[in-house]
Structure 1
Amino acid sequence: MIPIIVGFGVTIVALTAKATIETVSRCRRLTNFEIARMNGIYLRNVSNGGTFWDKFYSKDPDMAIGGFQTDVDVNEALDILGLSKKDVFNISKIKQRHREMIMQNHPDRGGSEYLAMKINKAKEVLIK
């Protein structure tokens, strides 16, 4: 009878030790936010750790999401040149902004050929 009791006791101690080790391991992996949530504490004005792009686009909600369209339309042309809709009919402003942008992005000065092409296309679309 004593070996059964000893075996039962050893089993209980082993299971308790295993459960304790697993619990400690899980607790070490918890973040501060998870610990606060488990204790019913809700932190305010703290980033929830969203993705990089969520944070990036939240800085400027007017920023266009995604890449260029295949054909440049008026709205995209305005975005490319950094102009507002009221500047559509101001040809001198379009030319001035085009000149500034092309000087910054010209391939001869280390800029991208693709961006220079898009800037030129944006000017063409707005002047037509």
Structure 2
Amino acid sequence: MVLPIILGLGVTTAALTVRSGLRAWEIYKRLTPPMIAQLNGLRISTSEARFQRQSSLRYADLSPQLKSRLDQYGGGFYPKMTESEALLILGIDAREISSLNLDLLKRKHRRAMLQNHPDRGGSPFLAMKVNEARDVLGHSIMLKR
């Protein structure tokens, strides 16, 4: 009578341990070197952060124009989203503004959501900002109807 209870508790403990380990591994895979340094109380200088950003594969694959835009952008979000910030979030460049219509806006929004959706490891906050950018540009006078 006691043996099934002990076995049940053992299996439950093992399952919870494995589940916790898998969740921790998923979080660990998303950490960047600056995040790890911050968690350990270390400070990384801006030149070291720039070197790490430039040495990453994703940054190296970007076009020179986008690299220059990212280097100029200080980061963060404004309290109330502007049209220029919405264009930057959705990746709409100056050439595409003149032809900005509902179809282009939907394509850019879809692409940004595929990259930042919480179900695919993205941040809920960033997904909210992508949706907010779509709404701002959807009501903008730049959008050709």
Q: TM-score, normalised by structure 1?
A: 0.52
Q: CA RMSD in A?
A: 2.3
Secondary structure of 1:100's partner?
A: helix
Secondary structure of 1:65's partner?
A: coil
1:126 CA drift (Å): 0.7
Give the corresponding residue for 2:47: 51
Give the corresponding residue for 1:62: 69
Q: Distance in 2 between matches of 1:124 and 1:85?
A: 19
> Residue by residue, what CA displacement relative to the aligned partner does 1:67-126 show, whole Å, maximum 9, x if unpaired?
111211111111101111343432211110101111221112221000000000001111
Give the corresponding residue for 1:19: none
Identity %: 38
Residues 13-92 of structure 1: matches in 2 within 5 Å? 51-53=47-49, 56=53, 60-63=67-70, 64-88=73-97, 89-92=100-103
Q: Distance in 2 between matches of 1:74 and 1:91?
A: 15
Give the corresponding residue for 1:121: 132
1:122 maps to a residue whose letter is: A
Q: Distance in 1 between matches of 2:123 and 2:48?
A: 25
Q: Distance in 1 between matches of 2:96 and 2:117?
A: 23
Question: Which ranges of structure 1 fall in alignment gaps of 5 or more residues?
Answer: 1-49
CA contact (8 A) 1:107 1:116 kept: yes
Select the structure of larger CA radius of gyration. 1
> How many residues end up aligned between the 2 structures?
78
Question: Which ranges of structure 2 fall in alignment gaps of 5 or more residues?
Answer: 1-45, 55-63, 140-145
